[in-house]
Amino acid sequence: MALPDLNLLVTLDVLLTEGSVAHAAKRLRLSPSAMSRQLARLRATTGDPLLVRAGRGLVPTPRALELRSRVGQIVQDGAAVLSPVAALDLRQLTRTFTLRTSEGFVENFGPELIARIGKDAPGARLRFIAKLDKDSESLRDASVDLETGVIGATTGPEVRTQALFKDRFIGVVRKGHPLAKNTAKGNVTAERYAGGRHILVSRRGLDKGPIDDALKKAGLERQVVTIVGGFAAALALARTTDLIASVPERHTGNMRDGLRSFALPVATTSITVSMLWHPRLDADPAHRWLRGVVRDICRTA
């Protein structure tokens, strides 16, 4: 079905507001005859005379009275849609942003991020939810505004991404652990590291990872005695046992207080932590501001 000429809505709004073909013509910079033709088109489209003569003037029909307020609002809404976005006033912004983040992000970057949001836009707030997988569906269905983490094979091809920082894995033990006596570079050898008892972090429950591959190249194998789903659990275990946790350095900064850290004695690939969002939010001023805040804090924290 063909759509009606939506320009007629503007004409109808002016006609119903002015109640006069001559006045409406003047307002729209049309000749009276051109406006009369527009009124004829409106009558044919709506199936109603809309304005009928009463003495020397025109009066609206019941249908016209019914449409008057509705048409005015539709025209205003249409004008708003087709107008440039107003400048963002952070002090007046009232919005909840949902962030899906990898474990450790809230603990490490959350305090400064919340403080910055509260200072710049006191009416805005953040909702953090756990990132249990790398699927992009929550970005597509608008249940999540922004996501952080390592880009994976399941990340949707349409998703926008921007790198935040690079991270590397380090070893972590409790203060009294044998490896904690001297964690200076080079003192924790691959042999000493592999000879300990380890915690493996795997969301999918795998019993080997990139560190095991690196040890294998060196002719070594570590003993993994437990597998956990996140870095917080691994650090909690390392804090109270003689187990060794291997975690990303920057992502767990605030979570390692009181623990001893050391560089891994085997070469592992660094990881890039990025933020991800759906393209529908690309030009949204408030979302652009949020992305800038996240980017700044992650680069300086």
| pLDDT tens profile 192-240 | 999 999 999 998 888 899 999 999 999 999 999 999 988 999 999 999 9
Domain with CATH 3.40.190.10 in the chain: 90-167+272-300, 169-269
Q: What CATH number has the domain spanning 169-269?
A: 3.40.190.10
| pLDDT tens profile 104-127 | 899 889 999 999 999 999 999 999
Coil/strand/helix, residue 271 = strand
Mean pLDDT of 66-88: 79
Domain with CATH 1.10.10.10 in the chain: 7-81
The whole-number pLDDT of residue 192 equals 94
Position 77 confidence tier, pLDDT thresholds 50, 70, 90: confident
Position 247 confidence tier, pLDDT thresholds 50, 70, 90: very high
pTM above 0.75, yes or no: no
What is the average pLDDT score of the chain? Answer: 90
| pLDDT tens profile 128-179 | 998 877 788 889 888 999 999 988 877 888 899 999 999 999 999 999 999 9
Exposure string (b/e) for 84-123, b if CB count within 10 Å is 16 or more? eeeeeeeeebeeebebbbbbbbbbbbbeebeeebeeebee
The whole-number pLDDT of residue 85 equals 66
Domain with residues 7-81, CATH architecture:
Orthogonal Bundle (1.10)
CATH code 3.90.1150.10 for 90-167+272-300: no
| pLDDT tens profile 268-278 | 989 999 999 99
